[in-house]
Amino acid sequence: MSGPTGTPPHVPDDAGSPPGAEPGAPAGPTGVPAAEPAVPAAGSTEPQVNSPQAPVAPPTEWGQPQVPPAPANQAPRWGQYAPQPPGYAPQPPGYGQQPGYGQQPGYGRAPGYGQQPGYGQYGQYGAPTPSGFGPSPWSPAPLAPRPGIIPLRPLSLGEIFDGAFRAIRTNPKVMFGLSAIVVTITAVIQAVASWAFLSDLEPTLLGTTTGAASDLADLNAVLSDLTGQVVAAAGVQTISYIVTTILSGLLIVAVSQSVIGRTAGPAQVWAATKGQVLRLLALSFLLLFLVSAPIVIWLVLTFAAVAAEQWGLAALVGLAGGLAAVVALFFLLTRTLLATPALMLERGGIAASIRRGWTLTRGAFWRVLGIYLLTSILVSVVTGAISGSVSILLQFTATDPVSLLTSPAYIAGTTLAQIVATTLTTPFTAGVVALLYVDVRMRTEGLDVELARAAEENA
């Protein structure tokens, strides 16, 4: 708007366009054309605004006529923020808030505790995150805190296996010592039961071989003896399963403490788990029944078809039913694998732990199945190498197979090999299962934040 005399208004010294702007160029920041350059009145000695000799001024505040506000439906752009001190030219785009002084990504909060790319939201895991924790003005921040046996972020296969070995090395008193005691007691009970079973069976087997058990009465006696011994062996295996289950629960708790840098002794581990032992046993038997149910149903249907002399149906059930049973077994085994660590570490009930394990493996089925299968294969190879080597060596000391099986040296040697193999492999398997539980929760629930806080309290 012109003054009363028709002369264009005087342009103040603190207004103007950014350095280097061409005369008549649009203002650009708000999408509204810039005002026409003011022309001084005739005879005036005022310098022209767009002249190279004109003083340079920063962008103006909101409401100034030279930089109009943005329309209501358009976000403010560069140059429409707070004015800068006199004498400062406008900064290049992106310097309205300097990185490291405003709200820089990952630096406003403690490293590793915000929604970091690849750590806070684990759906992004796998993408490169070298600057996920934000730059530090004095030292580079680590990629992830590592207070114990694993870094507190989603784990790879190698890190899970490495963490299981580290758990054994950092707490051998529990991982090896406690395992050796429990496994030795169980193995000795099994060895005594096996020796008693084979000793009673040896005369019968030798008599059957020489023809002494040719009549029906002797055959019935053999079958009765075998039935009793099988029942006794099943009882021994049940005791072994119970003891191994309790041992696995104890080791899972020990591994979880090693994750945050704590070393729990046998007394501390027992104090933390003794309230869950009965629930652990009930859960273990329930899971055993649930996982083995497909195999049992398949066997029953197959034998029923054979008994009915339906050979085509028996072949179909035997092949297709067997494949379906194996698939169902692995499916149920994987979906309930994390129920045991959930019971021991979250201290919930039996049904709640099964639901929890089912929920945690949703979306991670193939990864959990693959890692557990690989672990089982490695454990089987180690166990077979130790036990098989001892068994082959002891075969050269026997004159016949029956006397070999009942030989005290053979039973003692195989029992010792079993103790060594189980003591080595049980802690490793328990460590892998515990770290799988931790890994899945870090990926889906941000457990690393709680673990880092617990590690800080422990430190």
The DSSP output letter for 274 is G
Tens-digit pLDDT profile for residues 90-104: 444 444 444 444 444
Looking at residue 93, its pLDDT comes to 46
Q: What is the DSSP string of 87-147?
A: TPPPPPTT-SS-TTTS--TTTSS-TTSS--BTTTBGGGBTB--TTTT---SSSPPPSS--S
Q: What's the Cα-to-Cα distance from 349 to each of 278, 319, 326, 355, rounded to whole Å?
A: 11, 38, 29, 10
Here the tokens at position 417 are: 């090999």
The pLDDT of 216-245, averaged and rounded, is 68
pLDDT single digits (tens) 269-298: 989 888 898 999 999 999 989 999 999 999
**Residue predicted with more confidence, 342 or 36:** 342
For residues 263-271, average pLDDT: 90
342 neighbors 348 (Cβ within 8 angstroms): yes
- pLDDT class of 425 with cuts at 50, 70, 90: very high
194 domain-assigned:
yes
- Residue 40 counted as domain residue: no
Residue 138 belongs to a domain:
no
The CA distance from 347 to 360, in Å, is 16
Decide if 348 is inside a domain: yes
**Average pLDDT of the segment spanning 106-110:** 40
Q: Note the pLDDT of residue 414.
A: 87
Least confident of 57-71, 392-406, 418-432: 57-71
Residue 372: domain span:
157-275+326-458
Higher pLDDT, 212 or 184: 184
Q: What is the 3-state secondary structure (H, E, C) of 335-353?
A: HCCCHHHHHHHHCCCHHHH
Distance CA 11, CA 15 (A): 7
Task: Tell me what pLDDT residue 394 has.
Answer: 82
Per-residue pLDDT tens over the stretch 149-208: 999 999 999 999 999 999 999 999 999 998 999 889 888 888 887 777 666 665 555 554
Is residue 349 pLDDT above 80, yes or no? yes
Confidence of residue 225 (pLDDT cuts 50, 70, 90): low
The answer to whether the beta carbons of residues 193 and 233 sit under 8 Å apart is yes
- The residue-averaged pLDDT of 357-374 equals 95
Who wins on pLDDT, 4 or 409?
409
Write the CA distances from 266 to 29, 247, 305, 438, integer angstroms.
69, 11, 52, 22
Residue % of the chain over a pLDDT of 70: 59
Q: What is the pLDDT of residue 49?
A: 45
Residue 196 lies in a domain: yes
Structure confidence at residue 420 (pLDDT): 93
157 secondary structure, DSSP code: H
Q: What is the pLDDT of residue 376?
A: 94
User: Could you give the number of structural domains in the chain?
Assistant: 1
Are 356 and 370 within 8 A, CB to CB?
A: no
125 confidence band (pLDDT: 50, 70, 90): very low
Please provide the average confidence, as pLDDT, over all residues in the chain.
73
pTM over 0.95: no
pLDDT of residue 232: 65
**Has residue 101 been placed in a domain?**
no
Task: Encode pLDDT of 232-256 as tens digits.
Answer: 667 777 777 788 888 888 999 999 9
- Specify the pLDDT at position 1: 44
With pLDDT > 90 as the criterion, what percentage of the chain qualifies? 36
Residue 216: pLDDT band (50, 70, 90) is low
Domain presence at residue 113: no
Q: What is the pLDDT of residue 364?
A: 93
- 259 within a domain of the structure (yes/no): yes
Q: Which of 111-120, 200-209, 442-451 has the lowest mean pLDDT?
A: 111-120
Tokens of 88: 């400062």
Give the chain's length: 459
* The two structure tokens encoding residue 257: 């403490």
Which pLDDT belongs to residue 203?
59
Q: Does position 372 have pLDDT exceeding 60, yes or no?
A: yes
